[in-house]
Amino acid sequence: MLPVVVVHGGAGHIPKERSELSTSGVTSAVRAGYAVLRGGGSSMDAVVEAVTYLENNPAFNAGCGSVLNVKGDVEMDAFVMEGKTLGSGAVSAVRNIANPIQLARLVMDKTSHLCLTAEGAKQFARSMGVPEVPQESLITEYSRMRWRKNLAPDANPVECQMGKMG
Amino acid sequence: TVGAVAVDSQGNVACATSTGGILNKMEGRVGDTPCIGCGGYADNMVGAVSTTGHGEAIMKVVLAKHILYQMEQGQSVEAASDLGLACMKFRAAGLGGVITVDPQGHWAARFSSRQMAWAAAQKDTLHYGLYEGE
C-alpha cells in the first residue's frame, strides 16, 4: 500500500485567466497534505490540512472566495469522514467561519451527531473556541462580480458555474 | 467546491469536502457536500471519494457511495469513478468530478465537466491537471 493524497479544486468552467491560479493552488494544497502523511500524520489529518489550504486560497469556491447566495451572503457546507470507524462530521449553511472543514472535524470528534447546521453550527463553533470572522473577509471581488452578473433575470447560475452540458 | 482524499501508512482512508455552494443559491440551500455518501464517503474496506459539481444531481445518485459500490463489485478506481459520473449525467443531467482512492493507494481524478483542477502526491511525485487527459 502506498500513501497518497489527492485534491480537487472544483469541477466546472475555469476561465483561462484563472487556470494558473487553480493549478498552483491545488499543487500547494496537495504538497501540504502529503507533508502531513510524511510526518506520520493520519489520512484524516492530511485531508483536513489540504482542504484548509484550499479554503484559505481565494481562487477557490470554499472558505475565502466562496460564491454568494442570492442575498449576497456567504453560506458554506463542509464534510469529513474517516474509513476506519466510519466516523464523520459535517456543517451546513455556516457563516463567519474561516475554515468550515475544521468545524466539521470538530463535529466528528466532539459530538455524537453527524451534521450541525446554520445557527446551531455557529453556537457549537463558539463553544469550541473557533473564532468568528467578518463576512467581508470571505468575499472576493470575483465572487461579488459573479453574483451581480447572475442577478440578471435571464441568468443561469448553474450553467455559469458548471458549463453547458455536452 | 474543494476536496481531498488520502490513504496513510496504516492503510486508513479519509475524505474531506468543503464548498460555498452554487452561484446565487437560495438562502438556506444545502447541497451535496455535507450529505453523507453524496459529497464524500470513506470506508477502509473499499476506499474514499470526494465529489464536486452539480449538487442536486450528485444527491440524486448518491455519487460517492455509488462509486464505492462499483468498486465493491470489482471495478477499478478509474472505472468506478467514470461509471458514477456517467450515471449522474444520464440519470440526473448533472456534470461534475470526483477524486477516488482505494486502501492500496490506487487513485483517480475524473470529471465529466470541461475542467477540474486536481493534484495528487504519491512516492514523492506530484501529478496535476486541469483538462481531460492531463
pLDDT attached to residue A41? 97
The answer to whether the Cβ–Cβ distance between B93 and A150 falls below 8 Å is: no
User: pLDDT per residue over B7-28, tens digit each?
Assistant: 999 999 999 999 999 999 999 9
Task: Say yes or no: B57 contacts chain A, CB-CB below 8 A.
Answer: no
Interface test with B, best of A2, A43, A109 (most B CBs within 10 A): A43
Alpha helices per DSSP H over chain B: 55-61, 63-72, 77-92
Please check the confidence at residue A1 and state whether its pLDDT lies above 80: no
Average pLDDT of the residues in A33-43: 97
Residue A157 has, within 13 A of its CA and on its CB side, a CA count of 22
User: pLDDT per residue over A66-87, tens digit each?
Assistant: 999 999 999 999 999 999 999 9
Q: Which residues in A lie closer than 8 A to residue B100 (C-beta atoms)? A: 6
Q: Which residues of B35-60 are buried (b: 16+ CB within 10 A; e: fewer)?
A: bbbbbbbbbbebbbbbbbbbbebbbb
Please check the confidence at residue A146 and state whether its pLDDT lies above 90: yes
Please check the confidence at residue A158 and state whether its pLDDT lies above 90: no
Interface test with B, best of A20, A70, A76, A77 (most B CBs within 10 A): A77
pLDDT attached to residue A84? 98
CA distance A97 to A115: 16
CB contact at 8 A, B21 and A67? yes
pLDDT attached to residue A15? 87
A19: cell is 487556470
pLDDT attached to residue B133? 83
- Maximum mean pLDDT: which of A12-26, A142-156, B80-94: B80-94
Q: Which residues in A lie closer than 8 A to residue B6 (C-beta atoms)? A: 3-6, 33, 37, 43-44, 46-47, 50
Mean pLDDT of all residues in chain B? 97
Task: Say yes or no: A26 contacts chain B, CB-CB below 8 A.
Answer: yes
pLDDT attached to residue A166? 60
Distance from CA of B65 to the nearest CA of A (A): 12
Distance from CA of B25 to the nearest CA of A (A): 5
pLDDT attached to residue A70? 96
User: pLDDT per residue over B82-111, tens digit each?
Assistant: 999 999 999 999 999 999 999 999 999 999
Q: Could you say which of A40, A46, A158 has the minimum Cβ distance to residue B22?
A: A158
Please check the confidence at residue A11 and state whether its pLDDT lies above 70: yes
Q: Assess: ipTM above 0.95.
A: yes
Task: Say yes or no: A12 contacts chain B, CB-CB below 8 A.
Answer: yes
Distance from CA of B76 to the nearest CA of A (A): 15
A80: cell is 469529513
Q: Which residues in A lie closer than 8 A to residue B9 (C-beta atoms)? A: 1, 3, 37, 40
Please check the confidence at residue A162 and state whether its pLDDT lies above 90: no
pLDDT attached to residue A159? 86
User: pLDDT per residue over A98-140, tens digit each?
Assistant: 999 999 999 999 999 999 999 999 999 999 999 999 999 999 9
Q: Could you say which of B13, B18, B121 has the minimum Cβ distance to residue A78?
A: B18
Active site residues of B: 1
Average pLDDT of the residues in B70-76: 98
Mean pLDDT of all residues in chain A? 96
The DSSP result for B23-46, as a single string, is: TTPPTT---STTSBTTTEEEETTT
